[in-house]
């Protein structure tokens, strides 16, 4: 054996590992996972049956074009099928977007803190991240982001609502931003949490994309639709962006189980969205009670809340863990807590109150 090792791309050096939300402890009293912004409800019966039926044929490759899903989405959103591209979760589609647009010497602009996959997939592409701090209110600073666009910029992520702060940008400011970004720079509106938005001033990206060829909208079945474990997301974009996404997709990446479950979810949308409504109700309750306890909670349009705890972050996360609630700490910054079922939220609120009294 020699000491030599295969040469790997230098671009991979120092890439932070994606940290998934921790699962709750396997033993001990009941504990809740509020660390990954998942839907707490089990699959709807129709969706489970569709997935189970597809599972009976997994000796076969899936439909590589995701035809049934793409057709369902096209009619659901009133967009041409050629404007749709699917992937292994919306993070998979985001990676395809980078592969399609950026490489060494190019720049990718995004807010910070925002979705932690952005720096990872940018670095893998070889491009350079340009991070623009959120405002003091934890919102995207769209003017500063537009100022950060240079002739090296290839892609800008706008995470709306933003993970992990839950804050959302509104129509007028987003349109002003889009008007400032040159047409040869792709703007990706990451709307993973769109179904939880209740502020009518927060625009639906699919409306903004229609007459803007440089806007791409990312959506997922992982959050409101409750299919996180099946890995399916999609983009809505004009040609040639959508075509580039189809070229860069992992062949057969989206399983037939995921495709059929996604179609069944779209067809069971009323029942699913009722569950989303109840989560939004819980979100309002969590925000109200935290505020009453004295916490500062940024306005959230997503299925999670953000507490900027600074140096107390690790202590707070440990207190939650001890109480049976797993949250998502960002060391030295804050904690993101998913809105779950009422019992989980109750436990979290009790823990927050006790912690607050001890502050
Ligand atoms: C803003 C945002 N975009 C995309 C994703 C990726 O979700 P998925 O790959 O499951 O579709 C997440 C997941 O946490 C997210 O928070």
pLDDT-derived band at 292, boundaries 50, 70, 90: very high
Share of residues in the chain with pLDDT > 90 (%) = 89
Compute how many other C-beta atoms are within 10 angstroms of the C-beta atom of residue 84. 22
The strand ranges marked E within the chain are 32-33, 84-87, 107-112, 128-133, 153-159, 186-190, 215-220, 233-237, 304-307, 325-326, 328-330, 334-338
pLDDT score at 20: 73
Is there an atom of ligand 1 within 6 Å of 339 CB? no
Atom 3 in ligand 1: which residue has the minimum CA distance?
192
- Positive or negative CA dihedral for 273, 277, 282, 288? positive
| Residue indicated by tokens 């863990």 | 321
Q: How far is CA 266 from CA 77, 116, 172, 218, 269, in A?
A: 11, 28, 30, 16, 5
Span 78-129, pLDDT tens digits: 999 999 999 999 999 999 999 999 999 999 999 999 999 999 999 999 999 9
CA nearest to 101, candidates 153, 56, 145: 153
Instruction: State in Å: Cα 329 to ligand 1 middle.
Output: 17
Span 300-334, pLDDT tens digits: 999 999 999 999 999 999 999 999 999 999 999 99
CA–CA distance, 40 with 143 (Å, rounded to integer): 36
Mutate to test the pocket of ligand 1, among 35, 115, 121 (most ligand atoms within 8 A of CB): 115
Compute how many other C-beta atoms are within 10 angstroms of the C-beta atom of residue 317. 23
pLDDT score at 40: 96
User: Please, are residues 214 and 227 in contact by the beta-carbon 8 Å criterion?
Assistant: no
Is there an atom of ligand 1 within 6 Å of 160 CB? no
Span 159-184, pLDDT tens digits: 999 999 999 999 999 999 999 999 99
Instruction: State in Å: Cα 29 to ligand 1 middle.
Output: 30
Is there an atom of ligand 1 within 6 Å of 228 CB? yes
pLDDT score at 1: 65
- Positive or negative CA dihedral for 103, 216, 159, 220? negative
> What is the DSSP secondary structure assignment for residue 43, as one 8-state letter?
P
Mutate to test the pocket of ligand 1, among 34, 89, 300 (most ligand atoms within 8 A of CB): 89
Per DSSP, the three-state class of 145 is helix
The token duo for 51 is: 């997935």
Half-sphere exposure of 323 (CA within 13 A, CB side): 22
pLDDT score at 26: 65
Q: Is the pTM of this model over 0.85?
A: yes
Atom 6 in ligand 1: which residue has the minimum CA distance?
91
For the CA atoms of the chain, what is the radius of gyration? 21
pLDDT score at 45: 81
Q: What is the mean pLDDT of residues 28-53?
A: 91
Atom nearest to 159 CA in ligand 1: 1
CA nearest to 218, candidates 342, 132, 93: 93
CA–CA distance, 251 with 183 (Å, rounded to integer): 30
- In the predicted structure, residue 206 carries a pLDDT above the cut 90: yes
C-alpha dihedral (329, 335, 336, 341), degrees to nearest 10:
100
CA–CA distance, 112 with 132 (Å, rounded to integer): 6
- Which letter, b or e, does each residue of 283-315 get, where b requires 16 or more Cβ atoms within 10 Å of its Cβ? beebbebbeeeebebbebbbbbbbbbbeebbee
Compute how many other C-beta atoms are within 10 angstroms of the C-beta atom of residue 24. 17
Span 236-291, pLDDT tens digits: 999 999 999 999 999 999 999 999 999 999 999 899 889 999 999 999 999 999 99
Q: How far is CA 32 from CA 10, 25, 263, 332, in A?
A: 40, 9, 29, 23
Is there an atom of ligand 1 within 6 Å of 37 CB? yes
pLDDT score at 289: 98
Mutate to test the pocket of ligand 1, among 97, 223, 231, 232 (most ligand atoms within 8 A of CB): 223
Higher pLDDT, 20 or 289: 289
Mutate to test the pocket of ligand 1, among 96, 163, 254 (most ligand atoms within 8 A of CB): 163
Atom nearest to 92 CA in ligand 1: 9
Is there an atom of ligand 1 within 6 Å of 233 CB? yes
CA–CA distance, 328 with 302 (Å, rounded to integer): 15
| Residue indicated by tokens 């100022």 | 147
């Amino acid at each position: 054996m020699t000491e030599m090792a295969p040469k790997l791309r230098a671009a991979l050096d120092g890439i932070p590992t994606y940290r998934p939300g921790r699962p709750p402890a396997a033993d001990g009293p009941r504990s809740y996972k509020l660390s990954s912004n998942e839907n707490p409800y089990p699959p709807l019966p129709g969706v489970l049956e569709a997935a189970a039926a597809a599972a009976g044929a997994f000796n076969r490759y899936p439909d590589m074009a995701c035809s049934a899903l793409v057709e369902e989405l096209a009619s659901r959103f009133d967009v041409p099928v050629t404007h749709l591209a699917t992937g292994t979760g919306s993070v998979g589609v985001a990676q395809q977007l980078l592969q399609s647009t950026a490489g060494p010497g190019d720049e990718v602009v995004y807010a910070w803190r925002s979705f932690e996959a952005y720096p990872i997939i940018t670095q893998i592409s070889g491009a350079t991240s340009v991070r623009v701090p959120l405002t003091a209110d934890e919102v995207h600073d769209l003017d500063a982001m537009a100022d950060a666009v240079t002739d090296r910029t290839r892609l800008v992520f706008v995470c709306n609502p933003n993970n992990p702060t839950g804050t959302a940008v509104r129509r007028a400011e987003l349109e002003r931003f889009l008007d400032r970004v040159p047409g040869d720079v792709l703007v990706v509106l990451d709307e993973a949490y769109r179904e939880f938005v209740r502020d009518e001033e927060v625009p639906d990206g699919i409306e903004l994309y229609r007459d803007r060829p440089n806007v791409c909208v990312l959506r997922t079945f992982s959050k409101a639709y409750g299919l996180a474990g099946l890995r399916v997301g999609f983009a809505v974009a004009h040609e040639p962006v959508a075509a580039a996404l189809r070229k860069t997709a992992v062949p057969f990446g989206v399983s037939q189980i995921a495709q059929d479950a996604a179609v069944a979810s779209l067809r069971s949308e009323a029942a699913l969205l009722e569950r989303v409504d109840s989560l939004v109700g819980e979100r309002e309750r969590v925000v109200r009670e935290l505020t009453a306890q004295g916490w500062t909670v940024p306005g959230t349009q997503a299925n999670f809340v953000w507490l900027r705890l600074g140096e107390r972050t690790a202590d707070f996360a440990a207190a939650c863990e001890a109480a049976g609630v797993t949250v998502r700490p960002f060391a030295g910054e804050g904690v993101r807590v998913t809105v779950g079922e009422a019992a989980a939220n109750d436990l979290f609120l009790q823990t927050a109150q006790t912690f607050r009294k001890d502050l």
